[in-house]
Amino acid sequence: MTLHLQTEEKQPLSREEILHPHRTLENSKVRTEDFDAWYGNNQVLKKLNIEVREHSVTAIIGPSGCGKSTLIRCLNRMHELVSRARTSGRVMLDGSDIYAKGVDPVTIRRRVGMVFQKPNPFPTMSVYDNVAAGLRLNGERNHSVLDRAVQQSLELAFLWDEVKGDLDKSGASLSGGQQQRLCIARALAVEPEVILMDEPCSALDPIATAKIEELIASIKGNYTVVIVTHNMQQAARVSDFTAFLYLGQLIEYGETTSLFENPVEELTERYLTGKFG
Amino acid sequence: MSNYSMRRFKNKLALWIGALCAALAMIPLVSILYDVVKNGASSLNVDFLTSAPGVIGQAGGGIGPAIQGTLLLVGLTIIMGVPLGVLSGIYLTEFGDNPVGRVIRFLNDVLAEFPSVVIGVVIFTLIVLTFKSFSVIAGALALSIIMLPIITRSTEESLKLVPNSIRDASMALGIRRWRTTLSVVLTTAKSGVVTGILLAIARVAGETAPLVFTILGSQYFFSGLNSPMDALPIRIYRLALLPYPYAQAQGWGAALVLILMVLVVNIGVRLATRGRLYTTRSRA
């Protein structure tokens, strides 16, 4: 991995700086401020402060049930679609609160796209229609615009060469890894600024996983990526920053290399060395 | 016998029992079709299909008004019942996870179990007596009420089969809720929804009892939405009660026409809805 901050010869971050990175990071894209989330009476996120840097890959790791998926579902307001789900605190996207009164969640979701754990292409739509769906169902009718967006998105998702001969075949007829890349292309087609990925490789074999990791590395220059993963090696391979969550709290957050090599918290070290989780 | 061959035997046995039951289930269908075609085919000719019934007791005449009436009635019923039923089904699946939804779902199930003759009597009291006339409108209303719960239920069941991950995928693209429901969820469930509608159409096309209380039956062609009208089930019933052999043959003929109409609608709708939501691209 290239080490962004280390090459800039910065001082090692203090614990305070690591836990409140928005005091140290520049180019903030997304920042949560004292953010809580509940399902009914069950509080899943507790006073979470985390910051995501623009044009970087941030990995969120932690044992099952620690709130990783909930956290990213809060970053594009998908959390509230579950009944009895609620939140408090702020999530700043480019400095303005996406939970402020009068903000339309639909406009947020157009800026912050999402890729899910299991590939979920629209089963009755063709490859082309799947990728075009986001634009089309938001009113885009111009065929040349759609054609261009579909090709560009499929190319970004490393899928174009495999499907260009038959864009009319059903999206559901692709292999699992291809379906997941189709879902990534579908998310990219609406040109979001941030892409959230919820364990995008957990249903895939190692070769398909490698392709998606390569894809993530290639798009991060233009997008901000937040990836939830169960796989610590994956976090180490793809991310610039890593956040370790435990029981809904942010335990440690920092550059991926320093977090993996010199974790500050004992809990982080125990998790990374497989002592629990 | 070894354990393995015993298991193979049980497997074969279960397969054959299943096949036998499927064959048994086909017997009524085939025998009804056979009887109707055998007894009814000889009556079919252009004159029979297009002319009004003749004088009772004398051979001749046809079922023109009844065909016209059934087409008109079923058409009006579809216009009133299908949108209402599909939209109710959508409401119940997508927005009905609350006390109001549960009450509607319960009442809908109750309505589905009402005997159709009761619905006929209710419409007779509410519409026919109020306006002092049997009418096509009253008949179509009664049939819509019969159709509504069937379509609501089948639409709801079909939409429930669409996984939530599909809704999530659409919402996460910044597609609005109503668009997601209509263009993604409904499209995904389309074949189930269409099947439900077709079953409901077939059901109401053959209803007799509620029609006796609402459109009454008639010797004449259409003369206004507020007048009595003939329909195939009523015509079949009346013809079957007559003691003359020609009338009974005409009854079989009318039954065959009714079955063929339902079949044509079924095949036609399936062909028409088989394509995708979008013709993918217009480019060559």
Whether residue B235 lies inside any domain: the answer is yes
Domain membership of residue A78 as a residue range:
19-119+194-272
- The answer to whether residue B108 scores a pLDDT higher than 90 is yes
Cβ separation A107–B174 shorter than 8 A: yes
Cβ separation B174–A123 shorter than 8 A: no
How close B263 gets to chain A, by Cα (Å)?
26
**Beta strand A57-61 pairing with A241-246:** parallel
- Give the pLDDT of residue A119: 95
Minimal Cβ distance to B187: which of A114, A124, A186? A124
| Residue whose token pair is 């459109």 | B215
- Of the pLDDT bands very low, low, confident and very high (cuts 50, 70, 90), residue A12 is low
Which SS3 state, helix, strand or coil, does residue A277 take?
coil
Whether residue B182 lies inside any domain: the answer is yes
Q: Touching check for B166 and chain A: CB below 8 Å?
A: yes
Weakest mean pLDDT among A273-277, B38-42, B145-149, B278-282: B278-282
Please, are residues A105 and A88 in contact by the beta-carbon 8 Å criterion? no
Q: Touching check for B170 and chain A: CB below 8 Å?
A: yes
- Give the pLDDT of residue A276: 78
**Beta strand A96-97 pairing with A42-53:** unpaired
- Give the pLDDT of residue B284: 31
- The answer to whether residue A11 scores a pLDDT higher than 70 is no
Contacting residues for A8 by C-beta, under 8 A, at least 6 apart: none
Buried b (16+ CB within 10 A) or exposed e, B86-104: bebbbbbbbebeeeebeeb
How many structural domains does chain A have? 1
Whether residue B278 lies inside any domain: the answer is no
- Give the pLDDT of residue B170: 96
Task: Please write the tens of the pLDDT for every residue from B154-166.
Answer: 999 999 999 999 9
Contacting residues for A181 by C-beta, under 8 A, at least 6 apart: A157, A158, A159, A211, A212, A215
- Of the pLDDT bands very low, low, confident and very high (cuts 50, 70, 90), residue B186 is very high
Whether residue A208 lies inside any domain: the answer is yes
Q: Touching check for B281 and chain A: CB below 8 Å?
A: yes
- Of the pLDDT bands very low, low, confident and very high (cuts 50, 70, 90), residue A22 is very low
- Give the pLDDT of residue A13: 55
Cβ separation B172–A76 shorter than 8 A: yes
Whether residue B31 lies inside any domain: the answer is no
Minimal Cβ distance to A168: which of B179, B188, B280? B280
Whether residue B134 lies inside any domain: the answer is yes
Task: Please write the tens of the pLDDT for every residue from A126-158.
Answer: 999 999 999 999 999 999 999 999 999 999 999
Whether residue B190 lies inside any domain: the answer is yes
Question: Please, what is the average pLDDT of chain B?
Answer: 92
Cβ separation B276–A125 shorter than 8 A: yes
- Give the pLDDT of residue A244: 95
Q: List the CATH number of the domain containing B188.
A: 1.10.3720.10
- Give the pLDDT of residue B55: 87
Share of chain B above pLDDT 70, in %: 96
Complete edge-to-edge strand list for the sheet that includes strand A42-53: A42-53, A28-39, A85-93, A96-97
- Of the pLDDT bands very low, low, confident and very high (cuts 50, 70, 90), residue A16 is low
Cβ separation A143–B283 shorter than 8 A: yes
- Give the pLDDT of residue A14: 56
- The answer to whether residue B276 scores a pLDDT higher than 70 is no
* pTM to 2 decimal places: 0.84
How many structural domains does chain B have? 1
- The answer to whether residue B197 scores a pLDDT higher than 50 is yes
- Give the pLDDT of residue B274: 74
Whether residue B211 lies inside any domain: the answer is yes
Task: Please write the tens of the pLDDT for every residue from A82-132.
Answer: 988 999 999 999 989 999 999 999 999 999 999 999 999 999 999 999 999
Minimal Cβ distance to A120: which of B166, B179, B278? B166
Whether residue B212 lies inside any domain: the answer is yes
Task: Please write the tens of the pLDDT for every residue from B4-45.
Answer: 999 999 999 999 999 999 999 999 999 999 999 999 999 999
Q: Touching check for B5 and chain A: CB below 8 Å?
A: no
Task: Please write the tens of the pLDDT for every residue from A49-72.
Answer: 999 999 999 999 999 889 999 999
Cβ separation A186–B173 shorter than 8 A: yes
Whether residue A147 lies inside any domain: the answer is no
| Residue whose token pair is 């089948």 | B154
- Of the pLDDT bands very low, low, confident and very high (cuts 50, 70, 90), residue B275 is low
What ipTM was estimated for this complex? 0.87
- Give the pLDDT of residue B270: 83
- The answer to whether residue A2 scores a pLDDT higher than 80 is no
Q: List the CATH number of the domain containing A106.
A: 3.40.50.300
How close B100 gets to chain A, by Cα (Å)?
16
Q: Touching check for B179 and chain A: CB below 8 Å?
A: yes
- Of the pLDDT bands very low, low, confident and very high (cuts 50, 70, 90), residue A18 is low
Whether residue A62 lies inside any domain: the answer is yes
- Give the pLDDT of residue A17: 55
Cβ separation A138–B174 shorter than 8 A: yes
- Of the pLDDT bands very low, low, confident and very high (cuts 50, 70, 90), residue A27 is confident
Cβ separation A124–B183 shorter than 8 A: no
Q: Touching check for A147 and chain B: CB below 8 Å?
A: yes
| Best residue in A82, A107, A129 for a mutation probing chain B (most B CBs within 10 Å) | A129
Inter-CA distances, A32 with A45, A199, A254, B5, Å:
11, 21, 15, 65
Domain membership of residue B71 as a residue range:
60-272
| Best residue in B162, B182, B281, B283 for a mutation probing chain A (most A CBs within 10 Å) | B281
